C-alpha cells in the first residue's frame, strides 16, 4: 500500500462532516480504488469547543488556519463557503504547495480567474466537482467524458430549491409563498431565499458550466437572470394546456458566429421532455453536443452526503495524481482568457426563443387584434392562443404562445402593449425551450 493521502479540512459544517463520514465508512473501498488510505490530519473550525457529530475527531480541530495550512498535507479541502476567508486561505494553500478541493461555486464564479492563475503558477490543482449539481458528476463529465466533443447547448435544473417550489406548485396547486415557507421549514431554502429563488445561485453555477463547456468566462452578474417568483398558479395551468411544464433552467448555447448565449429563468419545456420529469429537489443537466447528441445527468443537487461524496471523489482524483507526482492533468481552460477562442457573450437582447405571454385585459372587442398587431409590428408571430372565460365586467386573461422571437423585440412590444387603455396590468412573460 502506498503512502496515505493527507488532507486538511477548512470548515466542518454539514459538508465537512459528510466528508469525514464517507472517508470513515468507505475506508476499505477507497484503499482498494486508490491504493492508499486518505487521512484527515487537521480541521479548521470557528469554535473547537461546540458540540459536533461524534464522527468528527475532536483532537484534530483548530481555530487557527495556519495549523491546517502548515500541516504536512497534500490536499486542502475548502468547505467554508462565502468569499472570505475562503479565497485567501485557498491562495495561501496553493502558495504552500497544496492541492485544493472546493465546493464553493460563489467563490469560483467571482474569483475563479485569480484562483486558477495562482494554481497554474504553483503547479497545483484546484478541482470543484461539488460546486455544481451536488452529487452529479457533471463537471468531471464535461471535462473528461465530453473532452472529444463540441457542445452546442446545455440546459440545467441546477437549483434544487427552485425546482422543489415549482414542482410543489404544479403537482399540488399550492401558492408560491406557502411552498417557499415549507421549503424553508424543510431546510431546502435559506431564511433569505433570494439567492435560490431569484436565480443568482443558478447563474453562478451556469457561469462555471459555461466556462468549462465553451471556454469563456461570462461574469454571472451579466447573465440574463430571472427568478421563479414570477411564476403564478395561473401560468402553470395555462402552460399545461399548451403541453408544457415550467422548470427553473440555466440555459447556454453556442452560436455559429462564435457568440455564447446564457440565461437563467423559469422556462416552459414540453411535458414529454426528460427534464420535465425532474421533480422536487433533484437536479439534472442536459447537454447537446455534436457527436453524442443529447445526454442527460440526473441526481441530488445538494445535501450533506451527495455533496460530500463529490468532494471525496475529487480527493481520490488528486490522490491518483499525487501518487504519480503529476498535476495539471486537466487544463483550467475556461478561466484563461487566451483560451476563449474568440468567443463572446451574446447580448441578451439578441437571444431568441418562443415566448409565453399572458395579458390581463378588459373584456372588450378588438383586444386580440390590437395585441397581435403590435406583436406583428415587432416581427413576433403567434403559434397558439387561449382566452379565459370571464364574468361580465371582469378582466380576462389572453394567453399566447409565440413562434421564435428575439428578446429585444418582445420587450419592446410588451412596452407598447402596456400603454394600451384596455391593459389592466403589465404582461407576464416567460420563455419557452422546445429542447429539440
Interface ranges with a second copy (CB under 8 A): 18, 22, 25-26, 28-30, 32-35, 129, 135-137, 140-141, 144-150, 215, 272, 274, 277-278, 289-300, 305-306, 308-313, 315-317, 320, 324, 326, 329-331, 333, 339, 341
**Among 266, 223, 216, which Cα is nearest to 246's?**
266
Least Å distance, CB 273 to a second copy, is 9
CA dihedral 421→424→429→434, nearest 10 degrees, is -90
Torsion-angle region of 382 (φ positive above 0: left; ψ -120 to 50: alpha; else: beta)? beta
Q: Which of 33/415 has CB closer to a second copy?
A: 33
Other Cβ atoms closer than 10 A to 208: 25
Smallest distance, a second copy to C-beta of residue 336, A: 10
The nearer residue to a second copy, 46 or 290, going by C-beta atoms, is 290
H or E segment to which residue 257 belongs: none
Q: Of 205, 253, 362, 415, which is the active-site residue?
A: 205
Residue 433, CA distances (Å) to 31, 252, 309, 354 in order? 45, 12, 32, 7
In whole angstroms, the minimum distance from the beta carbon of 163 to a second copy comes to: 14
Closer by beta carbon to a second copy, 329 or else 352? 329
Question: For residues 278 and 298, is the Cβ–Cβ distance under 8 A?
Answer: yes
CA gap 249, 102 in Å, rounded: 24
Distance CA 270, CA 152 (A): 20
CA–CA gap between residue 281 and residue 270 (Å, rounded): 20
Give the single-character DSSP code of 2.
P
SS3 call for 323: helix
* Shortest CB 212 distance to a second copy, Å: 10
Alpha helices (H) along 326-398: 367-377
Upper half-sphere CA count for residue 411 (Cβ side, 13 Å): 8
Annotation says 186 is catalytic: no
**Smallest distance from a second copy to CB 310, Å:** 8
Distances (CA, A) of 166 to 101, 236, 237, 246, 250: 32, 9, 12, 7, 15
What phi and psi, each to the nearest 5 degrees, are found at residue 374?
-65, -40
Q: Which is nearer to a second copy, 56 or 330 (CB)?
A: 330
**79 vs 417 by CB, closer to a second copy:** 79
* Cβ closest to a second copy, residue 308 vs residue 375: 308
Q: Between 2 and 381, whose beta carbon lies closer to a second copy?
A: 2
| Complex with a second copy: residue 113 or 395, whichever CB lies closer | 113
Q: How far apart are CA 154 and CA 41, in angstroms?
A: 39
CB 210 within 8 A of CB 260: yes
Q: Taking the complex as a whole, how short is the minimal distance between the CB of residue 326 and a second copy, in angstroms?
A: 4
DSSP characters over 262-291:
EEEEEEEEETTSGGGG--TTEEEEEEEETT
Other Cβ atoms closer than 10 A to 315: 25
Coil, strand or helix at 319: helix
432 close to 244: Cβ distance less than 8 angstroms: yes
Q: Give the shortest CB-348-to-a second copy separation in angstroms.
A: 26
For residues 215 and 354, which CB has a smaller minimum distance to a second copy in the complex?
215
Please list the active-site residues: 205
Amino acid at each position: 500500500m502506498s503512502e496515505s493521502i493527507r488532507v486538511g479540512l477548512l470548515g466542518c459544517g454539514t459538508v465537512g462532516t459528510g466528508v469525514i463520514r464517507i472517508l470513515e465508512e468507505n475506508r476499505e473501498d477507497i484503499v482498494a480504488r486508490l491504493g492508499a488510505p486518505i487521512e484527515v490530519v487537521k480541521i479548521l473550525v470557528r469554535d473547537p469547543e461546540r458540540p459536533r457529530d461524534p464522527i468528527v475527531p475532536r483532537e484534530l480541530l483548530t481555530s487557527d488556519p495556519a495549523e491546517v495550512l502548515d500541516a504536512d498535507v497534500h490536499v486542502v479541502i475548502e468547505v467554508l463557503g462565502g468569499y472570505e476567508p475562503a479565497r485567501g486561505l485557498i491562495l495561501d494553500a496553493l502558495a504552500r504547495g497544496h492541492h485544493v478541493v472546493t465546493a464553493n461555486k460563489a467563490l469560483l464564479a467571482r474569483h475563479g480567474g485569480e484562483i486558477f492563475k495562482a494554481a497554474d503558477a504553483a503547479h497545483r490543482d484546484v478541482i470543484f466537482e461539488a460546486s455544481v449539481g451536488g452529487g452529479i458528476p457533471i463537471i468531471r463529465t464535461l471535462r473528461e467524458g465530453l473532452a472529444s466533443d463540441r457542445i452546442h447547448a446545455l440546459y440545467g435544473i441546477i437549483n434544487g430549491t427552485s425546482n422543489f417550489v415549482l414542482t410543489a406548485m404544479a403537482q399540488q396547486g399550492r401558492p408560491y409563498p406557502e411552498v417557499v415557507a415549507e421549503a424553508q421549514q424543510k431546510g431546502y431554502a435559506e431564511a433569505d431565499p433570494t439567492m435560490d429563488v431569484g436565480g443568482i445561485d443558478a447563474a453562478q453555477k451556469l457561469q462555471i458550466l459555461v466556462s468549462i463547456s465553451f471556454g469563456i468566462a461570462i461574469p454571472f452578474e451579466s447573465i440574463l437572470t430571472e427568478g421563479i417568483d414570477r411564476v403564478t398558479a395561473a401560468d402553470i395551468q395555462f402552460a399545461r394546456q399548451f403541453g408544457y411544464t415550467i422548470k427553473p433552467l440555466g440555459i447556454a448555447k453556442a452560436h455559429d458566429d462564435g457568440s455564447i448565449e446564457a440565461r437563467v429563468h423559469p422556462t416552459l419545456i414540453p411535458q414529454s421532455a426528460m427534464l420535465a420529469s425532474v421533480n422536487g429537489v433533484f437536479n439534472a443537466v442536459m447537454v447537446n453536443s455534436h457527436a453524442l447528441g443529447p445526454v442527460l445527468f440526473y441526481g441530488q443537487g445538494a445535501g450533506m452526503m451527495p455533496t460530500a461524496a463529490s468532494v471525496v471523489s475529487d480527493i481520490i482524483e488528486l490522490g491518483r495524481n499525487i501518487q504519480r507526482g503529476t498535476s495539471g492533468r486537466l487544463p483550467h481552460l475556461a478561466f484563461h482568457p487566451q483560451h476563449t477562442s474568440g468567443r463572446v457573450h451574446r447580448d441578451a437582447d439578441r437571444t431568441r426563443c418562443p415566448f409565453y405571454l399572458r395579458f390581463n385585459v378588459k373584456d372588450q372587442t378588438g383586444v386580440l387584434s390590437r395585441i397581435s398587431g403590435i406583436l406583428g409590428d415587432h416581427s413576433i408571430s403567434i403559434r397558439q392562443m387561449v382566452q379565459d372565460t370571464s364574468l361580465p365586467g371582469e378582466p380576462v386573461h389572453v394567453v399566447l404562445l409565440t413562434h421564435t422571437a428575439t428578446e429585444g423585440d418582445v420587450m419592446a412590444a410588451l412596452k407598447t402593449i402596456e400603454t394600451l387603455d384596455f391593459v389592466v396590468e403589465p404582461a407576464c412573460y416567460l420563455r419557452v425551450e422546445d429542447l429539440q
